[in-house]
Structure 1
Amino acid sequence: MPHYGVIGDGDITKLPNLDSFASLISRSTNGIGVHVVLGDGSFDFMGQYNLQEVSCKQLFVCQCLCALMILRPGGHFLMKLFDTFTEFTTGLIYIMGHLFEEIFIVKPVTSRPANSEKFLICKSLRSTLISMVGSCLPAPKSSIISTPEAGSKRHDTPSGSQKSHQLQANRNTEKTTTSLNKAEDDADKESCLDYDFELNITKESNPLRFMINYLSQVNKKLRNVISSSCRQKTDVLKVCPSEIMENDVKFMRFMRNMNERITTRQCIALSKLITFLKNPHLVEDRKSALRQSCLMKWQIPVQKRLQIPWPMTDGSRLTLNQYLLLADSRIPLPREYCPHTRLTSINKKDINDQKDWNGHHIGLVSAQPMLIYSRGSRNEDKLCTTDGDTWETLNEVIPDLQPRLPAGTLIWGRATNEYCSKTGLRKHALFVYDVLCIYGRDCRQLGYKERMKAVERMVSVVNFPDMKSSNIRVPPFVHLSQLDDYINGLLLFPLEHPQKYVRMHCFSDGFMFQPHCLLLVKHLKGELSKSVNRRTGELMDLSKNAIKSASDLPESGEHLFK
């Protein structure tokens, strides 16, 4: 599902968006990071294809920055490039070569040969950490020193030999200096002044953290260039001193051979394209033979293309809708998918007789649950029903409830109100009490605990701080015998009018809700029930023949989705 960052515009060049995205990845992976990052960003270059490389350099920097922040050690990164001729692009590739075990630049056979598209593949991230780096660290102090004469430059570069694709600093030096060229406004009556942008790095510094800080400052410089009102705009021409790259003979040979090989093929393809444009009646008679030889070379069986199973494509959504809903998404669900009959009255005598309720969990709710089905990311794609007969769009029933439910998800839950004491924000949230399928994955044959674990994994992905959408929550489930302890443990918060206190359940992200109703859900089969061990206080699963720990209960002892 899309993540647009804390600013909400999806701009990867804004560091607050990157920070919030890194925080989301950290929460979703328990701080470990992801295995693979793909960077496929680009712009519309209609009529300016020769400027693709220059125009995208800030995007390239930020995609690399994002990958370094969220990749786990040993992770891989793939990014789309265009031409690779300028010092800026070459320097960025050189830096990435130091941070990964191997780098490749590949133009796939599926990429149009006449354009400059190619892909940078970085394998096995080098890191001294055991997890992802995470959000951008505060930028280190830097000294920007102007020289009295225009055109003067100073580079404190490490001496000694360096191996290609290996980050190696001079043992006798404790800082690396990279030059960024800057031009001043004509109003200052100065021509182009060159500055030395110094970043100090000690022997104990982590190279990965250092490069994240460095690329963050490069991005900041590029943003200043774009937003500058000077008539003679400045620019960042390089991210790595030319002398260092030129001294690395192996890297320079790699870049030269790659550029020559891909450019030669591109020229041939362009010449062929021009020929076919001049004569529209020409036919490429080698296409079928080329296809056969490629399949034979790659040892791929010759067969018709098969449709990719949903949810990878939209084409098979109808199949899932017919399978789950037996027809159009607005046709009623089968009766076994409808919620249980809701209790309308229960007295104190019934509650006190807890033996009859040992097989139930208590979901703390405030109204009748409903079935909610998501068939897409838009609000219009969320359908709901309370009786299983009539389906309506969710935004028509509850306009302020806008959960980020993945497509192909059918849950049993309801809307509630939640409040953030820090910001005073009030918003709707969706409580999930059970699930039939998540993102097309059928969960009906799982036990109740496994189904709710799947919901928790989904919640950890779709919820993120400061989002405008409604949070999806897994409500607290309490055994009936522990209800008094739960209520007494709720935090008391004062009301403004009238002046009294209410008990609130608090979530880890600062939001809270007021529990004031009970939902009794039976999830154990037959004679199985729960009991509390008086000595340890642990919940035990009680059967006719034996007493077992709750963790030892087989899934066969739990109700499937009904």
Structure 2
Amino acid sequence: MYPIQLCKNLIKKARIHQLLTVMEVISNNQGKFYKAMETGALKRILEDGEGSGRPGFQDSGDTFYNKNPEQVKNFEETYSGEYSEKSKRMMMNMGFKPGKGLGKFEHGRVEPVEASAQKGRRGLGAKPSAVGALPQDIKEMTEEPKPQAREEVLWLDPAPEEPLSGDILDKWLQTGPVKLTIDDETNFVDPAILKGVLNSKTIFDSLDDEDLRHARSRSNPYETIGAVIFLNRAAVKMANIDAVFDFNFTKPKKQNGENAVDKKEILYFADVCAGPGGFSEYVLYRKGWRAKGFGFTLKGSNDFKLSDFYAGSPETFNPYYGVKNDGNIFDPANLQSLKEHVLKQTDDKGVHFLMADGGFSVEGQENIQEILSKQLYLCQCLAALMLVRTGGHFVVKLFDVFTLFSVGLIYIMYRCFDKVCIHKPVTSRPANSERYLICFWKRLGTEPAEQHLDYVNSMLWSEVEQNGDVTQLVPLSVIQEDKNFFEYIYKSNCLLGERQIQNLLKIARYSKDKNLKDSSLQAEMKEQCLALWKLPDSVRTQPDRRGHDDTLSAIRSLIKKPAADSHSLYSFKANVLNKPPDYLENPSNLKTYFKNVYDWNFMFLSSGKNSPDLRIFIGCGGKQVFQLESNSWKNVIDLHLTLPAKTLLYGEVVKEYRGQGNNQIYSKSLHIIDALMLGGVDISSDTLSERINQCNLFCAALNKPFDNQALPIRTKRLYNMDQFESAVNNLEYRAMKRVKRAVTISTPDRINRNEMFYVVGSVLFLKEVKDPWIAVISKTSGKKYYFSVGRDGKHNSEYNIPSDAKMDMIGAYTRRVMWPWEPAACAIFDSQTTEHVTRAEMEIYVSSTVNK
């Protein structure tokens, strides 16, 4: 039945309130009308009161426009806030009067038909969903404090600087029988508050999960913040924590306020017990490819979902599952292999910070969640001591901290970091026991604590020889002697416990009264919080998947200095990207190309003249990588290369060899020569040296040395032309499998120094200084400075390269010079040919220019 037919039937039957309801549904959302038809709600409206058969009001001729003004006023006042203006006007046209039915004799139904309270398919036998009676010893607060966007952090005073020794920790350790009750754990909390927390949870035992969720959503003033643009709410929780602590995770600082991450470094972080990866998505959203993450979580349904990282680029995130390949953090072997994995890729320093958000279902055992999570607490803290570098940070989710084991673990972390606090962010739902331990600036000398916790974990892994449990890490007397620490834990538990009780009671109140809702307050808190946390107030959307030409257009629109002779995409590819190098083929070219050798740098290539391996590469995100051939793009999916979107670089695919003679093997890698844009970051106007530094960081972030399928990516080593003679000394002859010998150079690999090398096929020269400036070496200081003569004849000299002296990437690329060595590399290297520029001729020319 369509809306018009339904309205006609109702008019005939003088069913005014039913008609008013239908008009309201239609005017607001026609989709809801059809939904009501499907559920049978409208059918019940139609069937109610059938058979009246009396004439309607159509014959009266009354309309809205000839009504008495007093009637219109009464109508407006009676239904001012219930229905839309459109539906009220329609009813007035039909002759409706407030408090009376439609029809000639005003005999239609007056009261509106109530909406169905049926929930799903529930029927006979369904258990009633209701909140239990409140415990008598719990009193609800009469006045609730007003929610605030800004949060107060209560810090622990710093711990004694003396590090914990292994002997002391071993002496403190105690084992005992397994304990599965928590109601007597009152050493670190007021007994009344502990009892209140446990009893408040029981009132929801008979409340349906759906009803509980609805009441919780309406009662929490921060609930509508949701996940915003991220994978889940956990990402926003990390954004909340990061902002509360002055963004000290994504922009870590030293204690003196200086940046902890140098410009020549990337930010390293670890995310353990973290699937599906919300915390990491947030960090990558903030930092892009300048952050490299190491993820560790259980394999399976809770694994990382990198394809769902819409807000942050996942190319620099590396999931790892330990030597057992299952991601079980409880397994000591997995933890040790994780440590080796991370340290090897961070120059044995460790990560700048570690995040841990572990948890598992404790349905039916919520009151002893802390006891069930003790090994999880331990292993996450152990991972921090293993992986976080000195001066680094740590954040871990905890639940209740009432037991001596949990408080002892926090005490050990308090002695290992300079600044510690327990904080519950506003994005952590106020009625649960969740809280976060925040630790800043890891101290020196934490190795004994790390080794001790590793030993304790091994005990728990073997179930303490099958007949007991670890009950104590630090004696109660030691904790109580440190009054600063003891009072902080006690007050924290009381404060968070009381807050949890009151919010549980609030949920109960909202469950009983379905009309309670703080929608305006929720909207206000969402706006204020997102502004404080520097997050957009928008919904999660899948990023645009651009093709190669669309990506190139986007890159061209973002670069600061577009090429002058590229007015279109086609001309940019034809005149710039496809421009061949100038070739150095005879000694007379040396003076033509290299008037001032201090302006030039060079690198050794594997490719020779017209090699297909030397290309422009464009990254469109993930494995969507293409190389430019003539004016078209070719997919290089067979290379297993991964690049972030909006990447345009100049590089070559190189065969890297290991071993000599018949035992020789090789693998391929991508060597970056130069780049215009890296993952949306425009580096085109930087100096050549700065661009190479950025490329080094880019490679460090992208490389996955433990992934045998991924193509290694490296940056060519850059040499100054004035140091040509010493640079060539890095070359050496090696015996090859198919030729007697070849001129080779070691692979530029920072991580795996395993004597890999590649064959030299040419030398590529790139200019760093733009005319009319030149680079000069000072005869007094021996330092390089930059000199030019202005149009007015004035001499200009600067020790730091001026901005107008920097040769941008496009300028350097279009002016590059290649000195081909193949197929006469050995002859050129030994200076035994007259057909090519030889090594000796280059050394003589450079020496004569330098010694002027």
Report the TM-score when normalising by structure 1.
Answer: 0.66
SS at structure 2 position matched to 1:61: helix
Alpha-carbon distance, 1:303 to partner? 13
Alpha-carbon distance, 1:119 to partner? 0.6
Identity %: 25
- 2:456 corresponds in structure 1 to 218
Change (3 A) 1:96 1:375: farther
Relative to total residues, which structure has the larger helix share, 1 or 2?
2
2:628 to 386, 392, 406: 386
Change (3 A) 1:444 1:313: farther
Alpha-carbon distance, 1:474 to partner? 1.4
- 1:285 corresponds in structure 2 to 517
Which deviates more from structure 2 when the two are superposed, residues 535-544 or residues 494-503? 535-544
Question: Is the Cα contact below 8 Å between 1:410 and 1:436 reproduced in 2?
Answer: yes
Question: Is the Cα contact below 8 Å between 2:664 and 2:737 reproduced in 1?
Answer: no
- Report whether the alignment pairs 1:87 with 2:408: no
Question: Is the Cα contact below 8 Å between 1:540 and 1:547 reproduced in 2?
Answer: no
1:409 to 626, 632, 647: 647
Output the amino acid matched with 1:120: L
CA distance in 2 between counterparts of 1:393 and 1:234 reads 59
CA distance in 2 between counterparts of 1:525 and 1:400 reads 36
Question: Is the Cα contact below 8 Å between 2:606 and 2:758 reproduced in 1?
Answer: no
Question: Is the Cα contact below 8 Å between 2:618 and 2:648 reproduced in 1?
Answer: yes
- 2:356 corresponds in structure 1 to 39
Question: Is the Cα contact below 8 Å between 2:601 and 2:768 reproduced in 1?
Answer: yes
Change (3 A) 1:514 1:210: same
Alpha-carbon distance, 1:293 to partner? 7.9
Partner deviation per Cα, 1:343-372 (whole Å, 9 max, x = no partner): 486533455556547555433242343333
Question: Is the Cα contact below 8 Å between 2:356 and 2:396 reproduced in 1?
Answer: yes
Question: Is the Cα contact below 8 Å between 1:541 and 1:547 reproduced in 2?
Answer: no
- 1:2 corresponds in structure 2 to 317
Output the amino acid matched with 1:112: R
Partner deviation per Cα, 1:482-522 (whole Å, 9 max, x = no partner): 55653443233333555546523243523322222333434
CA distance in 1 between counterparts of 2:630 and 2:461 reads 53
CA distance in 2 between counterparts of 1:115 and 1:504 reads 60
- Report whether the alignment pairs 1:455 with 2:695: yes
Q: How many residues align?
A: 458
SS at structure 1 position matched to 2:554: helix
Report the TM-score when normalising by structure 2.
Answer: 0.46
Change (3 A) 1:246 1:490: same
SS at structure 1 position matched to 2:407: helix
Change (3 A) 1:455 1:531: same
Partner deviation per Cα, 1:285-319 (whole Å, 9 max, x = no partner): 334246658988x9x9899973589xx99658879
- Report whether the alignment pairs 1:513 with 2:750: no
Change (3 A) 1:551 1:456: farther
2:393 to 31, 54, 76: 76
Which deviates more from structure 2 when the two are superposed, residues 313-322 or residues 364-373? 313-322
Question: Is the Cα contact below 8 Å between 1:539 and 1:549 reproduced in 2?
Answer: no
Alpha-carbon distance, 1:92 to partner? 0.8
2:489 to 255, 272, 276: 255
- 2:675 corresponds in structure 1 to 435
Residue ranges of structure 2 left out of the alignment (5+ in a row)? 1-315, 559-567, 811-852
- 1:160 corresponds in structure 2 to none
Question: Is the Cα contact below 8 Å between 2:675 and 2:695 reproduced in 1?
Answer: yes
Which deviates more from structure 2 when the two are superposed, residues 317-326 or residues 439-448? 317-326
CA distance in 2 between counterparts of 1:105 and 1:302 reads 21
Output the amino acid matched with 1:402: L
> Is the radius of gyration larger for structure 1 or structure 2?
2
Alpha-carbon distance, 1:120 to partner? 0.7
CA distance in 2 between counterparts of 1:9 and 1:40 reads 18
Partner deviation per Cα, 1:196-223 (whole Å, 9 max, x = no partner): xxxxxxxxxx3x2221222222333334
- Report whether the alignment pairs 1:473 with 2:707: no
CA distance in 2 between counterparts of 1:429 and 1:246 reads 59
2:639 to 376, 381, 400: 400
Question: Is the Cα contact below 8 Å between 1:26 and 1:70 reproduced in 2?
Answer: no
Question: Is the Cα contact below 8 Å between 2:787 and 2:798 reproduced in 1?
Answer: no
CA distance in 2 between counterparts of 1:365 and 1:354 reads 25
CA distance in 1 between counterparts of 2:742 and 2:711 reads 26
Output the amino acid matched with 1:489: N
CA distance in 2 between counterparts of 1:308 and 1:91 reads 42
Change (3 A) 1:340 1:295: closer
Output the amino acid matched with 2:341: S
CA distance in 2 between counterparts of 1:99 and 1:540 reads 47
Change (3 A) 1:254 1:474: same
CA distance in 2 between counterparts of 1:505 and 1:538 reads 29
Question: Is the Cα contact below 8 Å between 2:335 and 2:383 reproduced in 1?
Answer: no
Change (3 A) 1:263 1:288: same
CA distance in 1 between counterparts of 2:393 and 2:644 reads 26
Alpha-carbon distance, 1:452 to partner? 1.5
Change (3 A) 1:561 1:291: same
Alpha-carbon distance, 1:49 to partner? 4.9
CA distance in 2 between counterparts of 1:303 and 1:239 reads 37
1:339 to 574, 577, 580: 577
Alpha-carbon distance, 1:93 to partner? 0.7
Change (3 A) 1:278 1:374: farther
Relative to total residues, which structure has the larger strand share, 1 or 2?
1
Output the amino acid matched with 2:498: T
Residue ranges of structure 1 left out of the alignment (5+ in a row)? 128-205
Counterparts of residues 125-144 of structure 1 (less than 5 Å): 125-127=442-444
Output the amino acid matched with 1:383: V
Partner deviation per Cα, 1:77-119 (whole Å, 9 max, x = no partner): 2211122233332211111122234422121111112332211
Alpha-carbon distance, 1:18 to partner? 1.6
- Report whether the alignment pairs 1:492 with 2:740: no
Output the amino acid matched with 1:103: V
Give the CA RMSD over aligned residues: 4.6
Question: Is the Cα contact below 8 Å between 2:417 and 2:442 reproduced in 1?
Answer: yes
CA distance in 2 between counterparts of 1:487 and 1:305 reads 52
Output the amino acid matched with 1:217: Y
